[in-house]
Amino acid sequence: MKEIILNKLIEKLGDSQIEFSEFRNDLSILLKKEHLLDAALLLRNDEELKFDMCKDVTAIDWEKRKNRFTIIYHVYSFKNKFELRLKVNIDEADLAIASLSGIWKSAEWYERETFDMYGIRFISHPDLRRVYMPEEFEYYPLRKDFPLLGIPGSLPLPK
């Protein structure tokens, strides 16, 4: 199964554009930002691959690396009973990436959560609002520079 996926992706995107790794039987594929939409369309629509459920979208903040954030997508194929992880590195200077909510509907709220927690904008997302914190909250809580106890005064108490 792993070879089929890698071959199809290499065929579509070119050999040097993807890297893959395997840890504890989990396959992860590292893509470049501009190829994400094509790869996702291929993974969902191809008859042999058929990755029809997106289980999770999240991001990792590496704090002091050049590409500060990595966005992670977990997709699952019912036909092949195979789970795949896609990774995309993005930089703090350009915190925007294409939204996959047109391909997998479940990505809509996950991307909203990633925006709420990390501040990453998803282009052409139908409704990019905060999901956990109040709308006017000014910070992004899961970034490494936000303290655990919060910033005093950032959230008001009643009365």
Partner 1 sequence: MKKEINISNDEKLIKSLMSQAADVSIDDALENEMIINMGPQHPATHGVLRVVLRLDGETVISSVPELGYLHRGYEKMAENMSFIEFIPHTDRLDYTATMCNNVAYVLAVEKLIGIESPDRAQFIRMIAAELSRIAAHMIAIGTFAMDVGAVTMVMWTFREREKIQEIFDRIAGARFTTSYTRIGGVASDIDDFALKMIKEFLDQLTAGLNEMARLLNSNRIFLERLEGIGILSKEDAIAYGVTGPSLRASGVEYDIRRAKPYLFYNEMDFSIPTYNDGDCLARYHLRADEVKESVKILYQCLQKIPAGEIIANEPKKVLAHKTEVYSKMEELIHDFMIINKGINPPEGDIFFSAENPKGELGFYIVSNGTGYPWKMKIRSPSFCNLQVLPKLIKGHMISDVVAIIGSLDPVMGEADK
Partner 2 sequence: MGLEAALTKDGFITTTIDALIAWARKSSVWPMPMGISCCAIEMIAAADPKYDISRFGSEVMRFSPRQSDLMIVAGTVTYKMAHVVRRIYDQMPDPKWVIAMGACTSTGGMYRSYSVVQGIDQFLPVDIYTAGCPPRPENLLNALMAIQEKISKTKARDFQNKARSGAGKI
Q: How many helices (DSSP H) and strands (DSSP E) are in the chain?
A: 3, 7
Taking the complex as a whole, the smallest distance from the CB of residue 147 to partner 2 amounts, in Å, to: 7
Which CB, 10 or 142, lies closer to partner 1? 142
Q: Check binding of 149 to partner 2 (CB under 8 A).
A: yes
Q: Check binding of 119 to partner 2 (CB under 8 A).
A: no
Q: Check binding of 159 to partner 2 (CB under 8 A).
A: yes
Measured over the CA atoms of residue 13, residue 29, residue 98 and residue 47, the dihedral's sign is positive
Q: Which two tokens stand for residue 12?
A: 């579509």
The item of partner 1, partner 2, none sharing an interface with residue 53, based on CB under 5 to 8 Å by kind, is partner 1
DSSP state at residue 34: G
- What do you get for the CA distance between the two ends of the chain, in Å? 60
CB atoms within 10 A of CB 14: 11
Q: Check binding of 133 to partner 2 (CB under 8 A).
A: yes
Distance CA 123, CA 34 (A): 12
The one among 24, 64, 66, 159 contacting partner 1 by CB under 8 A: 24
- Beta-strand (E) ranges in 1-129? 19-23, 26-31, 53-61, 69-77, 82-90, 96-98, 121-123
Q: Check binding of 106 to partner 1 (CB under 8 A).
A: yes
Chain residues in the site for partner 2 (CB under 8 A): 132-134, 141, 146-151, 154-159
Chain residues in the site for partner 1 (CB under 8 A): 23-24, 26, 28, 52-56, 58, 60-61, 72, 74, 78, 81, 83, 85, 104-106, 108-110, 113, 117, 127, 129-138, 141-142, 146, 148, 153-156
